[in-house]
Amino acid sequence: MSTVALCQSPTPESSSPSKRDQADALIQKALQRFAAEDFKGNVQLLKEAATIDPTNPRVWWKLCEAYQLTDEMNLAIDACKHNIEINPDGLSHNSLGLVYLAQKDYARAAQEFEKAIADSARPPIIYQNLLFALFGSKQYEKATSFAQRFIKVSAGDPPNMKLGYEMLGIAHDKTGKKNEAREAFAKAGFVSCQIGSNDKGDLSVDCHN
Protein backbone atom coordinates (compact mmCIF):
# COMPACT_ATOMS: atom_id res chain seq x y z
CA MET A 1 0.00 0.00 0.00
CA SER A 2 1.31 3.47 -0.87
CA THR A 3 2.16 5.70 2.12
CA VAL A 4 2.58 8.90 0.12
CA ALA A 5 -0.61 10.38 1.54
CA LEU A 6 0.83 10.21 5.04
CA CYS A 7 3.43 12.79 4.05
CA GLN A 8 1.09 15.18 2.32
CA SER A 9 -0.48 18.27 3.82
CA PRO A 10 -4.03 17.79 5.14
CA THR A 11 -6.65 18.21 2.44
CA PRO A 12 -9.89 20.13 3.10
CA GLU A 13 -11.70 16.78 3.31
CA SER A 14 -9.42 15.40 6.04
CA SER A 15 -9.86 18.51 8.20
CA SER A 16 -13.65 18.43 8.01
CA PRO A 17 -15.67 16.90 10.87
CA SER A 18 -16.11 13.14 10.74
CA LYS A 19 -19.55 11.62 10.35
CA ARG A 20 -19.46 10.61 14.00
CA ASP A 21 -18.62 14.19 15.02
CA GLN A 22 -21.44 15.54 12.85
CA ALA A 23 -23.89 13.06 14.34
CA ASP A 24 -22.76 13.83 17.88
CA ALA A 25 -23.27 17.54 17.24
CA LEU A 26 -26.83 16.85 16.06
CA ILE A 27 -27.46 14.70 19.14
CA GLN A 28 -26.41 17.63 21.33
CA LYS A 29 -28.83 19.90 19.48
CA ALA A 30 -31.52 17.23 19.87
CA LEU A 31 -30.92 17.20 23.62
CA GLN A 32 -31.60 20.94 23.67
CA ARG A 33 -34.88 20.35 21.81
CA PHE A 34 -35.70 17.63 24.32
CA ALA A 35 -35.01 19.98 27.25
CA ALA A 36 -37.34 22.54 25.65
CA GLU A 37 -40.00 19.78 25.31
CA ASP A 38 -39.90 20.10 21.53
CA PHE A 39 -40.14 16.36 21.09
CA LYS A 40 -40.83 16.45 17.35
CA GLY A 41 -37.79 18.66 16.84
CA ASN A 42 -35.81 16.22 18.94
CA VAL A 43 -36.86 13.34 16.68
CA GLN A 44 -36.07 15.25 13.50
CA LEU A 45 -32.52 16.06 14.58
CA LEU A 46 -31.90 12.48 15.68
CA LYS A 47 -33.19 11.20 12.34
CA GLU A 48 -30.70 13.48 10.60
CA ALA A 49 -27.95 12.10 12.83
CA ALA A 50 -28.99 8.54 11.96
CA THR A 51 -28.81 9.35 8.25
CA ILE A 52 -25.29 10.74 8.61
CA ASP A 53 -23.96 8.05 10.97
CA PRO A 54 -26.24 4.99 10.82
CA THR A 55 -23.90 2.79 12.87
CA ASN A 56 -23.87 5.15 15.85
CA PRO A 57 -25.61 3.26 18.71
CA ARG A 58 -26.19 6.45 20.67
CA VAL A 59 -28.39 7.78 17.85
CA TRP A 60 -30.66 4.74 17.86
CA TRP A 61 -30.80 4.58 21.66
CA LYS A 62 -31.94 8.20 21.71
CA LEU A 63 -34.42 7.61 18.86
CA CYS A 64 -35.89 4.69 20.80
CA GLU A 65 -36.63 7.11 23.64
CA ALA A 66 -37.63 10.00 21.38
CA TYR A 67 -40.29 8.13 19.41
CA GLN A 68 -41.98 7.13 22.66
CA LEU A 69 -42.39 10.81 23.51
CA THR A 70 -44.10 11.44 20.17
CA ASP A 71 -46.28 8.35 20.71
CA GLU A 72 -44.80 6.60 17.66
CA MET A 73 -44.37 3.28 19.43
CA ASN A 74 -43.78 1.10 16.36
CA LEU A 75 -40.97 3.40 15.28
CA ALA A 76 -39.61 3.29 18.84
CA ILE A 77 -39.54 -0.51 18.67
CA ASP A 78 -37.75 -0.41 15.32
CA ALA A 79 -35.16 2.04 16.66
CA CYS A 80 -34.59 -0.10 19.76
CA LYS A 81 -34.12 -3.22 17.65
CA HIS A 82 -31.65 -1.38 15.41
CA ASN A 83 -29.78 -0.31 18.52
CA ILE A 84 -29.63 -3.92 19.73
CA GLU A 85 -28.19 -5.02 16.36
CA ILE A 86 -25.39 -2.49 16.76
CA ASN A 87 -24.90 -2.71 20.53
CA PRO A 88 -26.56 -5.80 22.07
CA ASP A 89 -25.87 -4.99 25.71
CA GLY A 90 -28.20 -5.08 28.70
CA LEU A 91 -29.21 -1.44 28.50
CA SER A 92 -30.22 -1.83 24.86
CA HIS A 93 -32.52 -4.76 25.71
CA ASN A 94 -33.85 -2.78 28.68
CA SER A 95 -34.78 0.10 26.37
CA LEU A 96 -36.80 -2.21 24.13
CA GLY A 97 -38.38 -3.81 27.17
CA LEU A 98 -39.53 -0.40 28.39
CA VAL A 99 -41.32 0.23 25.08
CA TYR A 100 -43.15 -3.09 25.34
CA LEU A 101 -43.94 -2.32 28.99
CA ALA A 102 -45.45 1.02 27.98
CA GLN A 103 -47.60 -0.84 25.44
CA LYS A 104 -48.61 -3.31 28.17
CA ASP A 105 -47.12 -6.13 26.08
CA TYR A 106 -45.87 -7.69 29.29
CA ALA A 107 -44.72 -11.04 27.88
CA ARG A 108 -42.40 -9.45 25.31
CA ALA A 109 -41.23 -6.91 27.87
CA ALA A 110 -40.28 -9.74 30.24
CA GLN A 111 -38.27 -11.46 27.49
CA GLU A 112 -36.24 -8.30 26.86
CA PHE A 113 -35.65 -7.61 30.55
CA GLU A 114 -34.44 -11.18 31.06
CA LYS A 115 -31.92 -10.60 28.28
CA ALA A 116 -30.96 -7.31 29.95
CA ILE A 117 -30.17 -8.87 33.33
CA ALA A 118 -28.01 -11.50 31.63
CA ASP A 119 -25.51 -8.66 31.12
CA SER A 120 -23.29 -8.59 34.21
CA ALA A 121 -22.97 -4.80 33.93
CA ARG A 122 -26.72 -4.18 34.22
CA PRO A 123 -27.99 -1.97 37.06
CA PRO A 124 -30.24 -3.65 39.68
CA ILE A 125 -33.17 -1.41 38.71
CA ILE A 126 -33.68 -3.61 35.62
CA TYR A 127 -34.90 -6.35 37.98
CA GLN A 128 -37.71 -4.00 38.97
CA ASN A 129 -38.68 -3.60 35.32
CA LEU A 130 -38.57 -7.38 34.84
CA LEU A 131 -40.72 -8.03 37.90
CA PHE A 132 -43.41 -5.60 36.76
CA ALA A 133 -43.45 -7.35 33.37
CA LEU A 134 -43.71 -10.76 35.05
CA PHE A 135 -46.57 -9.58 37.26
CA GLY A 136 -48.31 -8.06 34.25
CA SER A 137 -48.02 -11.35 32.36
CA LYS A 138 -49.02 -13.35 35.47
CA GLN A 139 -45.74 -15.28 35.62
CA TYR A 140 -45.75 -15.39 39.41
CA GLU A 141 -43.43 -18.37 39.94
CA LYS A 142 -40.79 -16.68 37.82
CA ALA A 143 -41.39 -13.45 39.71
CA THR A 144 -40.58 -15.23 42.99
CA SER A 145 -37.20 -16.37 41.67
CA PHE A 146 -36.25 -13.01 40.19
CA ALA A 147 -37.41 -11.08 43.27
CA GLN A 148 -35.00 -13.19 45.33
CA ARG A 149 -32.23 -12.38 42.86
CA PHE A 150 -33.19 -8.68 42.98
CA ILE A 151 -32.76 -8.73 46.76
CA LYS A 152 -29.40 -10.47 46.46
CA VAL A 153 -27.93 -8.05 43.92
CA SER A 154 -29.27 -5.10 45.95
CA ALA A 155 -27.19 -5.95 49.03
CA GLY A 156 -26.00 -2.67 50.52
CA ASP A 157 -28.79 -0.73 48.78
CA PRO A 158 -31.63 -0.51 51.35
CA PRO A 159 -34.27 1.12 49.08
CA ASN A 160 -33.88 -1.55 46.39
CA MET A 161 -33.76 -4.35 48.97
CA LYS A 162 -36.98 -3.03 50.50
CA LEU A 163 -38.64 -2.97 47.07
CA GLY A 164 -37.33 -6.47 46.43
CA TYR A 165 -39.00 -7.78 49.58
CA GLU A 166 -42.24 -6.01 48.66
CA MET A 167 -42.23 -7.68 45.24
CA LEU A 168 -41.18 -11.04 46.70
CA GLY A 169 -44.11 -10.85 49.10
CA ILE A 170 -46.51 -10.13 46.25
CA ALA A 171 -45.13 -13.05 44.24
CA HIS A 172 -45.49 -15.41 47.23
CA ASP A 173 -49.03 -14.15 47.83
CA LYS A 174 -49.98 -14.73 44.18
CA THR A 175 -48.70 -18.32 44.36
CA GLY A 176 -50.62 -19.00 47.58
CA LYS A 177 -47.61 -18.99 49.92
CA LYS A 178 -49.22 -16.79 52.56
CA ASN A 179 -46.67 -17.35 55.34
CA GLU A 180 -43.72 -16.61 53.05
CA ALA A 181 -45.57 -13.53 51.81
CA ARG A 182 -46.07 -12.22 55.36
CA GLU A 183 -42.39 -12.77 56.15
CA ALA A 184 -41.30 -10.87 53.04
CA PHE A 185 -43.71 -8.00 53.72
CA ALA A 186 -42.47 -7.79 57.31
CA LYS A 187 -38.88 -7.43 56.10
CA ALA A 188 -40.08 -4.53 53.94
CA GLY A 189 -41.84 -2.99 56.95
CA PHE A 190 -45.41 -3.57 55.76
CA VAL A 191 -48.34 -5.84 56.52
CA SER A 192 -49.23 -6.34 52.87
CA CYS A 193 -48.48 -5.11 49.35
CA GLN A 194 -50.16 -5.51 46.00
CA ILE A 195 -49.68 -4.50 42.38
CA GLY A 196 -51.68 -1.42 41.47
CA SER A 197 -51.37 1.32 38.87
CA ASN A 198 -50.37 4.96 38.96
CA ASP A 199 -52.12 7.95 37.40
CA LYS A 200 -50.69 7.05 33.99
CA GLY A 201 -51.93 3.48 34.19
CA ASP A 202 -48.44 2.07 34.71
CA LEU A 203 -47.95 -0.78 37.17
CA SER A 204 -46.85 0.19 40.67
CA VAL A 205 -46.47 -1.37 44.12
CA ASP A 206 -49.00 -0.34 46.77
CA CYS A 207 -48.19 -1.30 50.37
CA HIS A 208 -50.18 -0.96 53.60
CA ASN A 209 -49.70 -1.32 57.35
List pLDDT tens digits, range 153-187: 998 899 999 999 999 999 999 999 999 999 999 99
List pLDDT tens digits, range 46-104: 999 999 999 998 999 999 999 999 999 999 999 999 999 999 999 999 999 999 999 99
Q: What is the pTM of this model?
A: 0.86
- Asked if residue 103 is part of any domain, the answer here is no
- Asked if residue 55 is part of any domain, the answer here is no
33-42 long-range Cβ contacts below 8 angstroms, 24+ apart: 34/66, 34/69, 39/66, 39/69, 39/70, 40/70, 42/66, 42/69
Domain extent at residue 144: 123-209
- Asked if residue 149 is part of any domain, the answer here is yes
Number of domains within the chain? 1
Q: What is the pLDDT of residue 5?
A: 39
CATH number of the domain within which 192 lies: 1.25.40.10
- Asked if residue 95 is part of any domain, the answer here is no
H-helix segments, the chain? 12-15, 19-35, 39-52, 57-69, 73-86, 90-102, 106-117, 125-136, 140-153, 158-174, 178-188
Q: What is the pLDDT of residue 10?
A: 40
**Confidence grade of residue 8 (pLDDT, cut at 50, 70, 90):** very low
Percent of residues, the chain, with pLDDT higher than 70: 92
- Asked if residue 91 is part of any domain, the answer here is no
Q: What is the pLDDT of residue 16?
A: 66
- Asked if residue 183 is part of any domain, the answer here is yes
Q: What is the pLDDT of residue 124?
A: 87
| pLDDT at 2 exceeding the cut of 80 | no
Top-confidence residue, 70 or 200: 70
- Asked if residue 23 is part of any domain, the answer here is no
- Asked if residue 9 is part of any domain, the answer here is no
